[in-house]
Amino acid sequence: MPRWQPVIGLEIHVQLSTESKIFSGASTAFGAEPNSQACAVDLGLPGVLPVLNERAVALAIRFGLAIGASIAERSVFARKNYFYPDLPKGYQISQYAEPIVNHGRLCLTLPSGEEKEIRILRAHLEEDAGKSVHDLFPGQSGIDLNRAGTPLLEVVTEPDLSSAAEAVQYMRTLHTLVRFIGICDGNMQEGSFRCDANVSVKPADSPTLGTRAEIKNLNSFRFVERAINHEIERQIELLESGGKVVQETRLYDPDRDETRSMRSKEDAHDYRYFPDPDLLPIVISADEIAAARAALPELPQQREARYLREFGLNREEAEALSSELPVAEYFEALAAQCGDARQAANWVSGEVFAALNRDALPFSEIRVSSGRLAGLLTRIQDQTVSNSMAKQVFEAMWQGPEDADAIIEARGLRQVTDSGEIEALVDAVISENPDQVAQFRAGKDKVFGFFVGQVMKRSKGKANPQTVNDLVVSKLKT
Ligand code: ADP
Ligand code: MG
């Protein structure tokens, strides 16, 4: 038996974050009443002309630069002709022979630690189709054309992926990137980020690729992984029992966890592509590309590497703090303001994330600015408050507008660092508990915690814990 090697190429449809459609002024907002956001252009009525949305082009350029691709100085819209009820014009406006983005790459760090580069063949602009609705009217199908004309960037890899897990990792990395650079909201439930997976298998030593099947419209990471694994197994079984894989489009059914044939796959020539006579070629100047390049933020992978190198964070922390631009900016501002990146990382990935989670808030609705939080961290650094008191102060800051200092003052949360004052408490606790002192001296180390606890309690939690520890040690040992 040959050892089978899976080969996978992904086509990902990234919905570009524009207010209006790619060729009309209709809104792209999600969730509107069916067919309330499809204008004459989206409906393909006779006599209307498409007008290109400038922002869609800008977002495509931004993406191309982020994957190190070349941006075509001239690219062309083409008509892809096919019949389907959700496509009233009878063709989809897409790009074919001359796409706007060519030859980029995305780097993955595999679980082994090895780096793997996935080549991105192209990314082209196109319009989305409408949607057939089969579950609303018994025995009938409805058509909702709100999606028709929504701007998409289709990102096509070379067949460089060699397992379902690798495909998912690529997809996650791309998902992080498009959100980070602000070209897509990444909302997979709403269809803003969808994947078609092309899957084939070949004998491990064969230089030629096997025949592929394409699995359409996978809208979750979990489904992508499952669908690809199923398809690989199906093809191997088929080949091992003497059968042949046919080139076809398959649909993944998450309820039954299987793929099934949808239609035999068209070849490109079946679509009768030709340049759309209603649209001029897109011409992009070198100046525009240079300006877009200058406006690109430092990307998540570079940031992550820098956080490891400059701040000494571990990989998990660095990834959590670098994968969304507002989080990264907040963290870096906080680190600069409090002067301690380590402390800033702990607080953002600890208290800040926990509070956002608890209140189910997006990061954009964070209740404590980096400046206010830095004020609190400075009070930990100068020992005004202990870490655990700081958590109470943070909670109060989260609930209201006051600064750390005002809250510390108003609630009397100032930590006692005066060792004379603490010493008096330690002496009292020791003289009142001779039994525990005897136990400790007899080698029962655990009672140490009892003394510290008692002193903290008497100080109402305000004694500097380090000073208490030091004093209890020195008093008990003498
Ligand atoms: P189409 O336009 O019909 O979808 P393309 O030739 O543009 O087909 O390829 C689409 C995707 O299929 C690309 O991501 C490519 O990497 C992938 N692909 C092509 N051949 C194979 C193969 N033999 N096995 C797996 N993936 C493949
Ligand atoms: Mg395709």
Instruction: Compute, in angstroms, the gap from residue 113 CA to the centroid of ligand 2.
Output: 31
Do 337 and 261 share a structural domain?
Answer: no
Instruction: Compute, in angstroms, the gap from residue 256 CA to the centroid of ligand 1.
Output: 26
Q: Are 50 and 278 in contact (CB under 8 A)?
A: yes
Instruction: Compute, in angstroms, the gap from residue 7 CA to the centroid of ligand 1.
Output: 10
Instruction: Compute, in angstroms, the gap from residue 120 CA to the centroid of ligand 1.
Output: 12
Q: What is the pLDDT of residue 401?
A: 95
Q: What is the pLDDT of residue 23?
A: 98
Model confidence, pTM: 0.88
Do 82 and 58 share a structural domain?
Answer: yes
Do 174 and 157 share a structural domain?
Answer: yes
Do 14 and 91 share a structural domain?
Answer: yes
* 159 ligand 1 Cβ < 6 A: yes
Give the separation between CA 324 and CA 181, rounded to whole angstroms: 9
Which range of residues forms the domain containing residue 57? Answer: 4-288
Do 334 and 197 share a structural domain?
Answer: no
Query: What token pair was written down for 6?
Result: 């899976």
Do 357 and 339 share a structural domain?
Answer: yes
Q: Are 381 and 363 in contact (CB under 8 A)?
A: no
Q: What is the pLDDT of residue 76?
A: 98
* 354 ligand 1 Cβ < 6 A: no
Do 333 and 232 share a structural domain?
Answer: no
Other beta carbons less than 10 A from residue 402's beta carbon: 15
Do 311 and 167 share a structural domain?
Answer: no
Which residues of the chain fall short of a pLDDT of 50? none
Query: What token pair was written down for 357?
Result: 């989670």
Do 372 and 238 share a structural domain?
Answer: no
Q: Are 37 and 223 in contact (CB under 8 A)?
A: no
Do 74 and 217 share a structural domain?
Answer: yes
Do 445 and 339 share a structural domain?
Answer: no
Q: Are 192 and 147 in contact (CB under 8 A)?
A: no
Q: Are 108 and 169 in contact (CB under 8 A)?
A: yes
Largest CA distance in the chain: 98
Angle at 461 between CA 455 and CA 464, to 5 degrees: 75
DSSP assignment letter at 20:
B
Q: What is the pLDDT of residue 476?
A: 85
List the one residue out of 125, 119, 215 whose CA is nearest residue 160: 119
Q: What is the pLDDT of residue 474?
A: 86
Domain closes at, from 369, 392, 411: 411
Q: Which of 4, 7, 8, 11 to mutate to test the pocket of ligand 1 (most atoms within 8 A of CB)?
A: 11
Query: What token pair was written down for 105?
Result: 């790459």
Count of structural domains, the chain: 3
Q: What is the pLDDT of residue 113?
A: 85
* 95 ligand 1 Cβ < 6 A: no
Q: What is the pLDDT of residue 265?
A: 67
DSSP string, 272-330: --EE-TTSPPEE--HHHHHHHHHHPPPPHHHHHHHHHHHH---HHHHHHHHSSHHHHHH
List the one residue out of 421, 407, 427, 430 whose CA is nearest residue 462: 421
* pLDDT tens-digit readout, 338-382: 999 999 999 999 999 999 999 999 999 999 999 999 999 999 999
